[in-house]
A and B are shown apart, each in its own frame.
Chain A
Amino acid sequence: MLKSLSRAVSVAARLSTKAPAAAPTARAALASPALCAPSSASTRPFTRSIWMLCSSNGATSGSRPKLLSTERGLPAVPCGCGGLHTEGDKAFAEFLSDEIKEEKKIQKSATLPKMSGGWELKLNGTEAKLIRSLSGERVTITFNINNSIPPTLEEEEEPGHGQKAEEKEPEIVSTPNFVVEVLKQGAKNALVFDCHFPEDEIGHGKGQEESDIFAIQEVSFQPEGDEDWKETSYTLNTDSLDWALYDHFMDFLADRGVDNTFANELIELSTALEHKEYIQFLEDLSSYIKCN
């Protein structure tokens, strides 16, 4: 239940809630020789010539900065990097600088949490694989942190609780769909389970209607190591499945280390990975905007 409550804030809040607090520091940091700042005009003749062209009453005019604003339809000034720089870009870079600082502040650890049970982690961008061999079987879990944060509906604040809701930082939790492949020794095909974290458990659950921590959506046999899902393989959908068979599947996975404990650890790992990738994205974006 607590988990459900903690997710009751939209993902978008991440960008919108933190910027104001740290804004002054970043503004100070970015006041130094920015590529398109008016002070750099003296060392960049070409840029200065643009200034001259744009100016209506000479370079000494007090209205000079205005010429670079979007009001006059000249949103950007070219610089040596080959890109454009606008006041908007400058504000954007400042915002990103603040955001990166804030995100690093709330990052629990720079290293990813370890999964118990001897799972080996392999990363490829946003895709993660957890591999474990046990008694001749190889179990591989694959998940991708992209789009793994469920969209949450803004819950209406109860009167009198508004203040409290503002004080509490929303917790962002990554709950990716994950695929479990179980390959037996000598078998051509792996038994593949398409699993997910049901929405009502992680997001909007109210009352006592709660789902399992994770659920199996589909089961099929797939050729070993094939990257592409073979659509011609029979795929068992659990929506209309005999529940006894479903329970046997769940027990089968639990015997191979894929149980509720695993699922909770997977959420922790995925959340940490998603946050790390988010920070990396912000840093890349910041560099891109600043053309460093």
Chain B
Amino acid sequence: MGIVLRNLQNVVPLRRARLRKDVETLRHILGVQKFDLGIICVDNRKIQNLNRIYRKKNAPTDVLSFPFYEDLRPGKMPCALHRDEFNLGDIFLGVEYVMQQCRETSCDFHGTLTVVAAHGICHLLGYRHETEEEWNELFQRESYILTEFNRLTGSHLEPLTKRCTQDS
């Protein structure tokens, strides 16, 4: 199946082909191209609802990750034996929220969406940012991913954690 992309919102015009290509590149950089991944683009209302249900935070956010492997150690590859275990989980992208952030900071929307997706994939691979140590670990990983991404695509993306985002 690869990447399952869904666009459930009509607030932000989305370039699906570009998003898929960028997430595909991220998957290759992380060496998880054999694993399925769900990317679901939603509006503020939907992501706020999910944030409230699963994180008890009644506010919209940029990304929510739902890992298939919940107790994965950061940096450790999932040990999949059967076909249906080659699955990383789902990432809900709050594209409306991301668009609002981009307008405020004059950032490129689709570039930022790639950074947010990279952050979400890191969560699917066990990375957290609840402690300073975890934060640094995540930042290192995101820096590596985006440096590679920039090298492959000629982009100039920076890690999300650098922007002091406490969400997701």
Give A residues with C-beta under 8 Å from B.
Answer: 1, 201, 208, 210-213, 243-244, 247-248, 250-251, 254, 259-261, 263-264
Find out whether the CB atom of A243 lies under 8 angstroms from the CB atom of B3: yes
Q: Which among A1, A243, A260, A264 is the interface contact of B7 at CB below 8 angstroms?
A: A260
The 7 A-B residue pairs with the shortest CB-CB distance, nearest first, are A260-B10, A247-B16, A247-B17, A261-B10, A248-B17, A250-B16, A247-B20
Find out whether the CB atom of A260 lies under 8 angstroms from the CB atom of B9: yes
Which single residue of chain A is at the shortest CB-CB distance from B15? A251
The interface residues of chain A lying within 8 Å CB-to-CB of B16 are 247, 250-251
Supply 28 A–B pairs (Cβ within 8 Å), ascending by A. A1-B49, A208-B40, A208-B66, A210-B6, A211-B6, A212-B6, A212-B7, A213-B10, A243-B2, A243-B20, A244-B17, A244-B20, A244-B21, A244-B24, A247-B16, A247-B17, A247-B19, A248-B17, A250-B16, A251-B17, A254-B13, A254-B14, A259-B10, A260-B7, A260-B8, A260-B10, A261-B10, A263-B10
Q: Which among A210, A247, A248 is the interface contact of B8 at CB below 8 angstroms?
A: A210
Which single residue of chain B is at the shortest CB-CB distance from A242? B2
Q: Which among B5, B8, B13 is the interface contact of A243 at CB below 8 angstroms?
A: B5
CB distance from A198 to the nearest CB of B (A): 10
Find out whether the CB atom of A264 lies under 8 angstroms from the CB atom of B40: no
The interface residues of chain A lying within 8 Å CB-to-CB of B14 are 254
CB distance from A3 to the nearest CB of B (A): 11
Q: Which among B2, B8, B24 is the interface contact of A212 at CB below 8 angstroms?
A: B8
Give B residues with C-beta under 8 Å from A.
Answer: 2-10, 13-17, 19-21, 24, 40, 49, 66, 90
Given A213-B8, A254-B13, A261-B10, A208-B20 contact (CB < 8 Å): no
* Cα–Cα distance between A250 and B15 once the two chains are bound (Å): 9
* Cα–Cα distance between A251 and B14 once the two chains are bound (Å): 8
Q: Which of A201, A210, A243: most chain B CB closer than 10 A?
A: A243
* Cα–Cα distance between A195 and B49 once the two chains are bound (Å): 29
* Cα–Cα distance between A248 and B18 once the two chains are bound (Å): 9
* Cα–Cα distance between A101 and B7 once the two chains are bound (Å): 40
Which single residue of chain B is at the shortest CB-CB distance from A265? B10
The interface residues of chain B lying within 8 Å CB-to-CB of A243 are 2-5, 20
Find out whether the CB atom of B90 lies under 8 angstroms from the CB atom of A208: yes
Given A243-B2, A251-B15, A259-B13, A213-B7 contact (CB < 8 Å): yes
* Cα–Cα distance between A58 and B137 once the two chains are bound (Å): 102
* Cα–Cα distance between A134 and B9 once the two chains are bound (Å): 25
CB distance from B4 to the nearest CB of A (A): 8
Which single residue of chain A is at the shortest CB-CB distance from B21? A244
Supplied contacts A211-B6, A244-B21, 7 more A-B pairs, CB within 8 Å: A208-B66, A212-B8, A243-B3, A247-B17, A248-B17, A260-B10, A261-B10
* Cα–Cα distance between A248 and B5 once the two chains are bound (Å): 12
* Cα–Cα distance between A264 and B20 once the two chains are bound (Å): 24
Given A244-B20, A259-B10, A210-B40 contact (CB < 8 Å): yes
